[in-house]
């Protein structure tokens, strides 16, 4: 697991101390200030975003994961939608969100599905086969991440890339670390290169779908 932890310099077992959590809350306040700057016409969206940030705060305090906490703060500072971040961290943490007040705001009443359309996770299945239950859960999680991404196409494309039009490292790390924790929880031994490769492939695929949605919307407007 040493390679995985070197992906950003975090240690998966590192807890969240009081001082670190206070710093995290300060960074969240800065991110929340951006939300308050939204136009009055977007008041409903602003309230939803504020609720989601409160859920993130509670999740971080409960999970006690230093690496996840830091990454969430960095992504919120970039104004990446809180619902998209939550759709990533929900994997393996469904019990927390089921018990969290306001969790309906995240999936609008829908729980993470256990159904699968038979997709294979080739990046993990090359040398050994994952348990069916794990594959189904990851597949449902991937679909949900995509679904939330499509809800905020313009904002995502403006915030998830660096100046070289490459996906920002904290986002890749968050997906990798959430997958790492979920696989370890299910007695799997994730490999650093597989996690990194899969996270990059998956997120680029999501953003490709987001662009296609915007292109279709543009075409419809031009034809109308």
φ/ψ of 163, rounded to 5, equals -65, -20
| CB-CB neighbours of 141 under 10 Å | 21
Query: The whole model's pTM is what?
Result: 0.76
CA-wise closest residue to 114 among 88, 89, 91, 82: 91
Contact of 6 with 192, CB cutoff 8 Å: yes
pLDDT of amino acid 223: 56
Question: What's the alpha-carbon Rg for the chain, to the nearest Å?
Answer: 17
Query: Are 117 and 135 a contacting pair, CB within 8 Å?
Result: no
Low-confidence ranges of the chain (pLDDT < 50): 1-13, 41, 105, 108-120
pLDDT confidence of residue 42: 63
- Tokens at residue 216, please? 């279709």
């Amino acid at each position: 697991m040493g390679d995985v932890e070197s992906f950003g310099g975090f240690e998966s077992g590192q807890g969240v101390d009081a001082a670190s959590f206070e710093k995290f809350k300060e960074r969240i306040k800065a991110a929340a200030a951006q939300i308050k700057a939204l136009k009055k016409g977007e008041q409903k969206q602003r309230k939803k975003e504020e609720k989601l940030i409160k859920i993130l705060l509670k999740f971080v305090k409960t999970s006690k994961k230093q690496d996840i906490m830091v990454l969430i703060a960095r992504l919120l500072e970039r104004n990446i939608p809180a619902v998209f971040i939550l759709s990533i961290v929900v994997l393996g943490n469904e019990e927390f969100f089921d018990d969290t007040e306001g969790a309906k705001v995240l999936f609008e009443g829908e729980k993470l599905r256990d159904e699968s359309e038979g997709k294979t996770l080739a990046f993990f299945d090359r040398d050994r086969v994952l348990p069916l239950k794990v594959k189904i859960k990851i597949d449902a999680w991937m679909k949900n991440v995509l679904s939330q991404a499509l809800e905020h196409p313009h904002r995502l494309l403006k915030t998830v890339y660096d100046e070289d039009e490459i996906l920002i490292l904290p986002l890749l790390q968050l997906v990798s670390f959430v997958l790492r924790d979920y696989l370890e929880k299910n007695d799997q031994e994730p490999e650093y290169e597989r996690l990194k490769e899969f996270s990059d492939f998956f997120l680029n695929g999501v953003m490709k779908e987001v662009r296609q949605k915007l292109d279709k919307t543009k075409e419809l407007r031009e034809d109308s």
